[in-house]
Amino acid sequence: MAMLCSYQKMKFKVNNSSDFARQASLELQRGSIQTPAFMPVGTNGTVKGMSVDDLKETGSEIILGNTYHLMLRPGDENIKTLGGLHNFINWDRPILTDSGGFQVWSLGDLVKISEEGVKFSSPYDGKKIFMTPEDSIKIQENLGSDIVMMFDECTDYPTTYENAKSSMELSMRWAARCKKAHKTSSALFGIVQGGIYKDLRQESLNQLLEIGTDGVALGGLSVGESKQEKLEILDFMSDKLPTEMPRYLMGVGKPEDIVEAVRYGIDMFDCVLPTRNARNGQLFTSEGVLNIRNAPYKMSDDPIDANCKCKVCKNYSRAYINHLDRTNEMLGSMLSTYHNIYYYQSLMKDIRNSIKNNLFAKFLKDFYNRRNLDMPEGPT
Amino acid sequence: MAMLCSYQKMKFKVNNSSDFARQASLELQRGSIQTPAFMPVGTNGTVKGMSVDDLKETGSEIILGNTYHLMLRPGDENIKTLGGLHNFINWDRPILTDSGGFQVWSLGDLVKISEEGVKFSSPYDGKKIFMTPEDSIKIQENLGSDIVMMFDECTDYPTTYENAKSSMELSMRWAARCKKAHKTSSALFGIVQGGIYKDLRQESLNQLLEIGTDGVALGGLSVGESKQEKLEILDFMSDKLPTEMPRYLMGVGKPEDIVEAVRYGIDMFDCVLPTRNARNGQLFTSEGVLNIRNAPYKMSDDPIDANCKCKVCKNYSRAYINHLDRTNEMLGSMLSTYHNIYYYQSLMKDIRNSIKNNLFAKFLKDFYNRRNLDMPEGPT
């Protein structure tokens, strides 16, 4: 692929904006994506219950791969030998890989963190694994990632100012090591830490920009803090994040969380909600969440969402999805996941179109009206 | 649908034959199928792990629905209210429904059989259910079946001649009641019973033809008898079954069982093997069965079957399927099922084309050669 050899850096272009919200194009080594973008999560090298054709049909332009899971099974060196993650899973569009840091952090007491890196045991065979920032970059490069994330420590919540500060500083020292270790033509995103402390967030951002990064992610949010605390950080960051690079809010979220974050200038999102909730019978609709397991749907000939144009809503009734869920049939999860991902991607498309056409204010009004929710205040 | 109203009986036309083997067209109220045909099993109103688009892509022209499962969940009356099984599951091609008899029989000691019908408890809510031949027909008609099967008692194996005889005679009295109860323009197939006793099989066939049937199924095989015993019954029946109606061997089977039965003049098959085995990592290939869980496949960049033209074999490696299976990912079952059904349908297509083109003898030779198997003697 000639493009891969000659291509050196990603390109990011803001096409239009509405206050802090913006619609942009992000050109990566394996193609362009339009933002604000939602990235379905492909933990083990598959977005659970979705074929790659299905993913494309829903309008997904980029997916996320989990470094932690893939390094353990089947192993990043094995994936490299098998032609890289894209070839392995038959997905020719961009992939963002996380750094593995968050999943390791989620192991809690089972992980030991030092200046050099993290030590933990494989949950599959108990094997002791030591992982450094350099390892994380190497693993992501073995996978053939298009957007490599810097390895960081997710700051605990709640925690003291001092702990948040030293955790952030460790992450920044690791960020510098990641930058040095990064060799391929993939984009490299840094992660702003600092917990709920604004001056630490500012300091983290300053250091990342000093180190040099192609995009900025906000880490350590949605880990227990209140919605208000999260919004305050988003609000604080909204006029400090550089406008010329993409901004990624990791692990978010519900449709209303995404819409709200777009108002603060966020461009990229990932979350397991649409896939995980689908498998638990929770379906996203234009009017809110519908629990398909509820008894009234057993005989409902209506589609999941009358306003949805996806093939599931065109062809199947709530009664059928309810039946498949009750009988524990794989097709239930397949159809529910397809619908949820389609819903998320349609939402993103509506957001993008509204910003592009200077109609974002109207979009917001409609979005909250349809759900009978008051519109939050937004950026101050 | 005008066709449904004006149509009265199915049409069956043998296009070509090779000894007992034949290639035929079977016209049903919802379209034509080409035989020899394989019917994927859609137990709960879904062929496990397959979308209807996938099913069509594999060349499936007819599927089987399980009366027993559907009458319990979501209930045949509910399905009727929801527009019938075809509408419920979004499948517009023919559906054959079994009678429920076999599944009830499979409950073993939990079922009580009398002249009037069978009594059993729902495994879901313990509710006592009494089911007569008339009920079975009514349920299948509620579902909107295209081929309705007569309700029968599956004869135990092993059993005495006397038991096989009285069981067969009960099934024939039930067959007469089914014929009388059958009201719709669906086809109605009778089931030949009689265990491994040839004279009972002959007597059962005679009675069914006397009662009147659109097609003949062979029941009570693949329930424990030896391969030799089964082949002897097939051999015995091969020149006794009327040539002008379709012949259906229920619950069969492995590729080699299907190929062998076609030699004895069988037109239709159903079996859970390709779907169930897919979920257990057993994949059918032109060279035999491959267990994708085996360690050597972990790093194999080869497709499941180099001779297969399905989208799974075109796009994915054995290593990826092995990985999905090991990580218990739904997509592993989805891709494996797709491949297995595609394999079965390709096999049926090859059988049909070879008979049509007077090349069935060559087909048989190739089929057994590729698997390093001796060709069985065939009909005598």
Tokens, residue B260: 């062998």
The residue annotated as part of the active site, out of B98, B214, B257, B267, is: B98
Residue-level pLDDT at B109: 83
CB contacts of A315 in chain B (<8 Å) are: 90
> Interior CA angle at B342 toward B282 and B237, to 5°?
85
- Using a CB–CB cut-off of 8 Å, the residues of A that contact B are 44-46, 48-51, 69, 73-74, 78, 81-83, 88-90, 298-299, 301, 315-317, 319-320, 322-324, 326-327, 329-331, 333-335
The residues, any chain, with a CB within 8 Å of residue B14's CB and separated by 6 or more, are B22, B23, B24, B243, B244
**Chain A CB contacts of B330 below 8 Å:** 46, 48-49, 330, 333-334
Which of A48, A50, A319 comes nearest B82 by C-beta? A319
Identified catalytic residue from A76, A98, A146, A214: A98
Q: What are phi and psi of A353, to 5 degrees?
A: -60, -40
Please report the pLDDT score of residue B227 as a whole number.
92
For domain B13-271, give the fold.
TIM Barrel (3.20.20)
Measured in angstroms, the CA of B73 and the nearest CA of chain A are apart by: 7
Is A92 considered catalytic here? no
B74/A326 Cβ within 8 A: yes
Give the closest residue to B27 by CA, choosing from B3, B11, B39, B14. Answer: B11
CA–CA distance from B308 to each of B28, B237, B347 (Å)? 30, 34, 10
Which residues in chain A are contacts of B322 at CB distance < 8 A?
74
**Residue of A44, A322, A12 lying closest to A147 (CA atoms):** A12
| pLDDT of amino acid B7 | 42
Answer yes or no: do B90 and A315 touch at CB < 8 A. yes
Q: Name residue B290's beta-bridge partners.
A: B283
Establish whether B235 is a catalytic residue. no
Q: Is B363 helix (H, G, I), strand (E, B) or coil?
A: helix
Distance in Å, alpha carbon of A83 to nearest chain B alpha carbon: 9
Provide CB contacts within 8 A for A119, sequence distance 6+.
Answer: A111, A112, A113, A128, A129, A130, A131
A78: left (phi over 0), alpha (psi -120 to 50) or beta: alpha
Q: Does the distance separating the beta carbons of B90 and A331 come in below 8 Å?
A: no
Return the bridge partners of B128, or none.
B121
What is the reported pLDDT for A161? 97
Q: State residue B1's pLDDT score.
A: 33
**What are the boundaries of each domain within chain B?**
13-271, 287-360
Closest chain B C-alpha to A170 CA, distance in angstroms: 33
Coil/strand/helix, residue B260: helix
Radius of gyration of chain A (CA): 20
| HSE-up (13 A, CA, CB side) for residue B200 | 24
For B45, nearest residue in chain A (alpha carbons):
A324
All residues of chain A having their beta carbon less than 8 Å from the beta carbon of residue B324 are 44-46
pLDDT for the residue numbered A6: 36
Q: Which residues of chain B, if any, have pLDDT below 70?
A: 1-8
Q: Which of A135, A267, A270, A305 is catalytic?
A: A270
The beta strand positions in A43-155, using DSSP E, are 63-65, 95-97, 112-113, 118-121, 128-131, 147-149
Tokens of B185: 């323009």
**How many A-B residue pairs are in contact by the CB < 8 A criterion?**
102
Coil/strand/helix, residue B297: helix
In chain B, residues with a C-beta closer than 8 Å to the C-beta of A88 are 317, 319-320, 323
**Does B324 contact A44 at a Cβ distance shorter than 8 Å?**
yes
CA distance A369 to B1: 42
For B73-119, the pLDDT digits (tens) are 999 999 999 999 999 999 999 999 999 988 888 888 889 999 999 99
Residue in B closest to A124 by C-alpha: B327
Task: Report which of A149, A190, A187, A143 is spatially closest to residue A168, judged by C-alpha positions.
Answer: A190
Mutate to test the interface with B, among A280, A292, A327 (most CBs of B within 10 A): A327
A22 forms bridges with which residues in the sheet?
A17
Which residue in B77, B80, B320, B337 has the most chain A C-beta atoms within 10 A of its own C-beta, making it the best mutation to test that interface?
Answer: B320
CB contact under 8 A, B88 and A320: yes
Residue of B nearest to A44 (CA): B327
Prior bond to B253 cis, omega within 30?
yes
Residue A221 near residue A230 (C-beta atoms within 8 A): yes
| Angle (CA) B109 B114 B117, round 5° | 95
Note whether B78 contacts A319, CB cutoff 8 Å. Answer: yes
Q: Which residues of B touch A56 (CB under 8 A)?
A: none
Say yes or no: ipTM exceeds 0.85: yes
B319/A48 CB distance under 8 A: no
Could you tell me if A47 and A40 are in contact, meaning their C-beta atoms sit under 8 angstroms apart?
yes
Q: Which residues of A touch B82 (CB under 8 A)?
A: 299, 301, 317, 319-320
Which chain A residues contact residue B333 at CB under 8 A?
330
Residues from chain B that touch A55, judged by Cβ atoms under 8 A, are none
pLDDT in tens, chain A (380 residues): 333 333 457 999 999 999 999 999 999 999 999 999 999 999 999 999 999 999 999 999 999 999 999 999 999 999 999 999 999 999 999 999 999 988 888 888 889 999 999 999 998 889 999 999 999 999 999 999 999 999 999 998 999 999 999 999 999 999 999 999 999 999 999 999 999 999 999 999 999 999 999 999 999 998 899 999 999 999 999 999 999 999 999 999 999 999 999 999 999 999 999 999 999 999 999 999 999 999 999 999 999 999 999 999 999 999 999 999 999 999 999 999 999 999 999 999 999 999 999 999 999 999 999 999 999 999 98
Query: C-alpha distances in angstroms, B30 versus A316, B46, B61, B123?
Result: 20, 18, 10, 33
Q: Which of B44, B299, B335 sits opposite A327 (nearest CB)?
A: B44
Q: H or E stretch including B360?
A: helix B360-370
Nearest residue of chain A to residue B92 (CA atoms): A315
Nearest-CA distance B380 → chain A (Å): 44
Considering only CB atoms, A323 lies closest to which of B50, B74, B298, namely B74
The count of other CB atoms within 10 Å of the CB of residue A216 is: 22
Element of type H or E holding B120: strand B118-121
User: Per the residue annotation, which of B135, B214, B270, B305 is the catalytic one?
Assistant: B270
The amino acid occupying position B225 is E
Nearest to A213 by CA among A187, A239, A194: A187
Among A44, A48, A71, the strongest candidate for a mutation testing the B interface, having the largest count of B CBs within 10 A, is A44
Dist CA A246 CA A188 (whole Å): 11
Q: Do B331 and A82 touch (CB under 8 A)?
A: no
- The minimum CA-CA distance between B357 and chain A, rounded to whole Å, is 36
A119-145 confidence digits (pLDDT tens): 999 988 899 999 999 999 999 999 999
User: What is A12-271's CATH number?
Assistant: 3.20.20.105
**A167: Cα separation from own chain's centroid:** 22
Which residues on A lie below 8 Å from B46 (Cβ)?
324, 329-331
At which residue do the structure tokens 């060709």 appear?
A: B375
- In one letter, which amino acid is A44? N
Q: How far is CA B153 from CA A140, A207, A248, B101, B116, in A?
A: 60, 78, 64, 6, 12
